[in-house]
Amino acid sequence: MASNHALALDWAWSTTPATTAALVAGGAYSVAAVGAATALPASYALLVGGVGAAAQAGADLYQRRPACHTAARCAAWLATGGWTAVTLAGHTALTWNATGWWAAGTAAGMTLARGLVRAEQTARSERASRRLQKWANNQAKEWHERLARLFRLTEHEVEGVKPWTADVGYTVRVRMPSDTPELPADAVRKLAVDLRLPKGGGIQIVDGEMYGEIHIRVTAKDVLAETIDYPDDLTATSIYQRIELGLLTDAEPADFPLADVCALEIGQTGSGKSNLINVTNAQLLRTVDAVVWHLDVTGAGISLPWLRSWAIDGTSDVPLIDWTADTVEEAHIMLDVAIAGINTRKAAYQDLMHEVDDDKIPVSPDVPAIILVVDEIAELPYEILAKLDTVVDTGRAARLRTFISGLRATQDVITAAMKKQSRARIGLRVSDPEELHHLFPTGGTRLDPKAAAHKGSGFLSAPDEDDVDSEPGPFKCYRIKPKRINVIAPQLADRRPAVDAVTLDTEPGRYYASRWGRILPRLYKNKTLSPTTHPYTEMETLWPPLDAATGLPATSAKPDKATKTDTHAGRGEGTPARTTRFGSEALAALLETPRTATSTKEAGGDADESDVIRAEFGRVVQQAGVPADRPHPVPQLLTDAHNAVVAAGGRMHTADLAVVLDMERLMLGTELGKLLREVGIERPGKGTVRAGKDGEPKPGYQAETLAAAIRAYTTHNGQ
C-alpha cells in the first residue's frame, strides 16, 4: 500500500499585536521570577527596557507612525523594564502584590497594542483611499480630454476609473452621448498610440451595464507574456465551484463552470493544449464530488502523468483518473456505460431531486458528478462521436459533463452537438482567425489572434456568476509540469470519490470493475506495476463480445460463451486487448439485412446463400448475390484499399497504402479521391491521419471513411 506521509513541522509563527504584548509581559515575569532566585541585578532589567524603548522609537520613526503612538509604545517598554527591576530588587515576583500589578500592566499593554494597530490601519486605509481618489480624479480628467480630442465628443462623461489587481491596468467607465453611442472602429488603435502603451499592453472596449455606457479596459502590463506556475493551494473544492485555468489580462481568475455546462477547447500543436488539459485535471481532482474519466485513443497521454503515482510509484492508493479509454474498443465500453448510467440516474434519483426541489441531481461524495475529458476528437471514428453527442445532449440532469479538446475549430472536427452544448469555450493559438470566429460566433469577429500570441495563452468565453455568457477575452493558463504533478498527485488521491452503485447497475456497467485489467497491460507493457494496482487487477477481466458483423463491442447483451471464445481466441492473461479499428456505422447498416438473413437460415429458414455478406471485424471478406452479368457495385480499388487499411489497424498513410497495393503514391491518391468524391464522401481532418509506429500525422485514410464509401456505392447501385 502507499506509504504514509509524515507530518511536517511548521515553524511559521503568526502573532497579533495583543499576543505579542502578552508574550513580552510573560517574558518579563519569567525573568523576574528566575532572576530573583539567581541574584540577577535590577539594572539589567532597566537596561533591557531602555534598549527596547530606543529600538521601538527607531522602528516607529522608520515606519512614519504618529508621535503619540511612538510615545505610548516606548512608555510600555519602560514600564515593563521598571516593574521587572523593582521586582528583582525586592525579590517579590511570587507575591500577590507584584503579580497583581503585572496582570494589570499586561491587560493594559494588550489593549493598548490592539488599539494602536487598529488606529494605524484605519489611518493607512484612509491615506490609501485619498491617494486612489486623487489618482482616479486625475485619470478621469485626462480621459475626458483625451476622448474629446481624439473623437470630438462633447457631451460624454467619465463616470469612474477603477484600478485592477496587481497594478496591471485599469477600467474607464464612460457614459456616451445619445447621438454617439459607440466609439469608431479604429478607436482601439488610436487610444493605444495616444497612451504610448508598451509592447504587450492593449485596449479593450466592451459594453457597460446599460445602453450608452462603455468600459475601456487598459492593460499596461502584459500578463500573458509571463509564465504563471500552478498555484500551491490544494484545498478541497466542489464541482459546483468554477474551474480556474489561469489569469485574465487584468490578473483576475480565468475560470468557467462545469457542473451544468460542457466545455470545448481548441488549439493547434504547440499552443499549450496538453498543459491546459493537465491544469483542468488538477482542478477537477481537487474536488471531492466529481469522478474524472479520460478518453484519449492516441496513447492515453492525458492520463499517464496522473496515473504514475498509483501505477508505478505506489504513492497513491487509488487511481486519480477513475477510467481511461486508450483504444476505440475501450472508448465504446466507457461511453456505453456512461449512456446507460445517464438513463439509470435520471430514474433512480428522482426522490433526491424532489428533496432539493431541482431538476438536476444534487452531487455529493456519495453521488458524484462524472466529468469526461476527451482529447484528439479528430482521431475518433463516427460511432464514438455519435455516442459522445448523446452524452453531451442528455447528460446535464444526470451530472455527466464533458471537457472536449481538439486541434482545430472546423466543422469536420467539432460536431454540431459539441459546439451548441459547450457554453464554456477555450481557443488557444490557431493558424487561421476564421477558426476563432467559428468557435466564438458571438464576439469572435473582433478577436485578433495576436492578442494571445504567447504559448499557453488564448481566449475564454464562459457563463459568468449570473449564467450570462461572457464575451471571449484573452487569458494565460497556469503552467504545470510532470514533476509537479507527481508531487501533488498523492495529496489529491486521498479525496477521490467512487462512482455510485446506481450508475454501474446496468448491463454495460459489469465491464467497469475489471477496466484496469484491460487497460494497464497496454499502457505499461514493459514496466513493473506497483502493488497498489493489485486490488484493481487481481480479478477476472471481462471482455465484451464483438458483434459478428460490425466488430463493435456488444456491451448491452449477455456475453455468449462461444462468441466470446472465438472473438478473443489466443488472448491470454495479461495480453493487451485488440486495438484494431472497428467498421463504421455505415458499414454496420450495410451488413444489417444480410445478417438477418443469415440468422433466419441458422434458425431453420430457407435463406438464400447468395444474400450472405461475411465480415470479420469490420472487414468485407466475401460478398455474394451479384449476378454474373452485372458489374460489382463497389470499385475493386476501393475494396482493396479498405481491406488493406483494416488489416493495418484502421488507419494508414497514403504512401504505405501505395506500397501494399503496388501503385504509385500520387496516382493512388488521385484515383481514391475520385472514387470518394463520386459518392460525396469526405475524409475527416482534411485527410490527415496518425498511423505507423511513430503516430506521425500525414495524409492517409481511415477504414471508417472507406467503409462509408462502400456502403454509398452499394446503395447507389440498388444493392
Q: What is the rounded CA–CA span in Å between residue 528 and residue 340?
A: 35
Band of residue 711 on the pLDDT scale cut at 50, 70, 90: confident
Q: Are 306 and 501 in contact (CB under 8 A)?
A: no
Here the CATH number for the domain that contains residue 401 is: 3.40.50.300
Here the CATH number for the domain that contains residue 684 is: 1.10.10
Give the residue-averaged pLDDT of 430-450.
72
Phi then psi for 297, rounded to 5 degrees?
-85, 10
Q: Has residue 383 been placed in a domain?
A: yes
Task: Let me know whether 447 and 375 are in one domain.
Answer: yes
Q: What is the percentage of the chain residues whose pLDDT exceeds 90?
A: 32
Q: Are 453 and 421 in contact (CB under 8 A)?
A: no
Task: Let me know whether 387 and 317 are in one domain.
Answer: yes
Task: Let me know whether 59 and 182 are in one domain.
Answer: no
Task: Let me know whether 261 and 380 are in one domain.
Answer: yes
- Cα–Cα distances (Å) from 543 to 308, 444, 504, 516, 615, in that order, read 25, 46, 16, 12, 20
Q: Are 710 and 636 in contact (CB under 8 A)?
A: no
Q: What is the rounded CA–CA span in Å between residue 132 and residue 335?
A: 56
| 396 Cβ contact list (under 8 Å, min separation 6) | 260, 261, 360
Q: What is the rounded CA–CA span in Å between residue 269 and residue 427?
A: 13
Band of residue 373 on the pLDDT scale cut at 50, 70, 90: very high
Which range is least confidently modeled, 75-89, 394-408, 685-699?
A: 685-699
114: helix, strand or coil:
helix
What cell does 194 get?
495616444
Q: Which pLDDT score is estimated for 592?
A: 44
Task: Let me know whether 207 and 292 are in one domain.
Answer: no
150: helix, strand or coil:
helix
Q: What is the rounded CA–CA span in Å between residue 191 and residue 214?
A: 14
If we measure between CA atoms, which residue out of 122, 178, 523 comes closest to residue 324? 523
Q: Which pLDDT score is estimated for 442?
A: 64
Q: What average pLDDT does the chain have? A: 81
Q: Are 244 and 253 in contact (CB under 8 A)?
A: yes
Q: Which pLDDT score is estimated for 455?
A: 84
Which residue segment(s) compose the domain that 98 sits in?
A: 17-128
Band of residue 717 on the pLDDT scale cut at 50, 70, 90: low
Q: Has residue 272 been placed in a domain?
A: yes
Q: Which pLDDT score is estimated for 679?
A: 86
What cell does 535 get?
486490488
Task: Let me know whether 368 and 275 are in one domain.
Answer: yes
Task: Let me know whether 260 and 196 are in one domain.
Answer: no
**In this structure, is the dihedral angle defined by the CA atoms of residues 413, 419, 422 and 424, taken in order, positive or negative?**
positive
- Taking only the tens place, the pLDDT of each residue in 634-685 is 888 888 898 888 888 788 899 899 999 988 888 888 888 888 888 888 887 7
Q: If you write DSSP's letter for every residue of 13-67 in order, what string do you get?
A: ----HHHHHHHHHHHHHHHHHHHHHTT--HHHHHHHHHHHHHHHHHHHHHTT--H
If we measure between CA atoms, which residue out of 477, 422, 476, 394 comes closest to residue 258? 422
Q: If you write DSSP's letter for every residue of 337-399 in order, what string do you get?
A: HHHHHHHHHHHHTHHHHHHHT-SSPPP-SSS-EEEEEE--GGGS-HHHHHHHHHHHHH-TTTT
Q: What is the rounded CA–CA span in Å between residue 639 and residue 471?
A: 49
- Taking only the tens place, the pLDDT of each residue in 327-347 is 989 999 999 999 999 999 999
**In this structure, is the dihedral angle defined by the CA atoms of residues 359, 360, 363 and 367, taken in order, positive or negative?**
positive
Q: Are 254 and 475 in contact (CB under 8 A)?
A: yes
- Taking only the tens place, the pLDDT of each residue in 65-117 is 888 888 888 888 888 888 888 888 777 777 888 788 888 888 887 888 888 88
Band of residue 561 on the pLDDT scale cut at 50, 70, 90: very low
- Cα–Cα distances (Å) from 155 to 124, 146, 162, 390, in that order, read 37, 13, 22, 54
Task: Let me know whether 123 and 181 are in one domain.
Answer: no
Where do runs of H (alpha helix) occur along 196-327? Answer: 273-285, 304-311
Phi then psi for 698, rounded to 5 degrees?
-145, 165
Phi then psi for 488, rounded to 5 degrees?
-85, -20
Q: Are 259 and 369 in contact (CB under 8 A)?
A: yes
User: Last residue of some domain: 128, 160, 192?
Assistant: 128
If we measure between CA atoms, which residue out of 651, 646, 716, 637 comes closest to residue 685? 651
Q: What is the rounded CA–CA span in Å between residue 448 and residue 333?
A: 41
Give the residue-averaged pLDDT of 401-405.
93
Query: Does residue 478 carry a pLDDT above 60?
Result: yes
If we measure between CA atoms, which residue out of 422, 436, 492, 423 comes closest to residue 278? 492
Give the residue-averaged pLDDT of 251-280.
90
Query: Does residue 607 carry a pLDDT above 60?
Result: no
Q: Has residue 621 been placed in a domain?
A: no
Query: How many residues in the chain?
Result: 719
70: helix, strand or coil:
helix
Q: What is the percentage of the chain residues whose pLDDT exceeds 70?
A: 85
Answer with the residue of higher pLDDT: 245 or 704: 245
Task: Let me know whether 166 and 265 are in one domain.
Answer: no
Q: Has residue 568 been placed in a domain?
A: no
Q: Are 643 and 615 in contact (CB under 8 A)?
A: no
Q: Has residue 3 been placed in a domain?
A: no
Query: Does residue 580 carry a pLDDT above 70?
Result: no
Q: What is the rounded CA–CA span in Å between residue 203 and residue 1?
A: 55
User: Last residue of some domain: 482, 505, 538?
Assistant: 538
Task: Let me know whether 517 and 401 are in one domain.
Answer: yes
Which range is least confidently modeled, 118-132, 149-163, 338-352, 517-531?
A: 118-132
DSSP 455: T
Which residue's C-alpha cell is 458571438? 442
Which range is least confidently modeled, 339-348, 415-424, 442-451, 578-587?
A: 578-587
Q: If you write DSSP's letter for every residue of 607-660 in order, what string do you get?
A: --GGG-EEEETTEEEEE----TTS--SS-HHHHHHHHHHHHTTSEEEHHHHHHH
Q: Which pLDDT score is estimated for 625?
A: 40
457: helix, strand or coil:
strand
Q: What is the rounded CA–CA span in Å between residue 60 and residue 406?
A: 59
Q: Which pLDDT score is estimated for 215?
A: 92
User: Last residue of some domain: 188, 221, 254?
Assistant: 221
Task: Let me know whether 215 and 312 are in one domain.
Answer: no
Query: Does residue 603 carry a pLDDT above 70?
Result: no
Band of residue 434 on the pLDDT scale cut at 50, 70, 90: confident
Helix (H) or strand (E) holding 217: strand 213-219
Between helices 67-90 and 96-151, what is the axis angle to 10°?
160
Task: Let me know whether 208 and 254 are in one domain.
Answer: no
Which residue's C-alpha cell is 529600538? 55
Q: Has residue 167 been placed in a domain?
A: yes
Query: Does residue 617 carry a pLDDT above 60?
Result: no
Q: Which pLDDT score is estimated for 698?
A: 85
If we measure between CA atoms, which residue out of 430, 450, 493, 443 comes closest to residue 471? 443
- pTM given for the model: 0.63
Query: Does residue 573 carry a pLDDT above 60?
Result: no
Answer with the residue of higher pLDDT: 118 or 396: 396
Q: Are 265 and 405 in contact (CB under 8 A)?
A: yes
Quick one: how many helices (H) and strands (E) in the chain? 22, 19
| CA distance between the termini of the chain | 61
Answer with the residue of higher pLDDT: 695 or 572: 695
Q: Are 220 and 169 in contact (CB under 8 A)?
A: yes
Which residue's C-alpha cell is 468557435? 439
Q: Has residue 648 been placed in a domain?
A: yes
Q: What is the rounded CA–CA span in Å between residue 83 and residue 78?
A: 9
Q: Which pLDDT score is estimated for 317?
A: 93
Q: What is the rounded CA–CA span in Å between residue 586 and residue 711?
A: 6
Q: Are 295 and 334 in contact (CB under 8 A)?
A: yes
Total count of domains within the chain: 4
Q: Has residue 4 been placed in a domain?
A: no
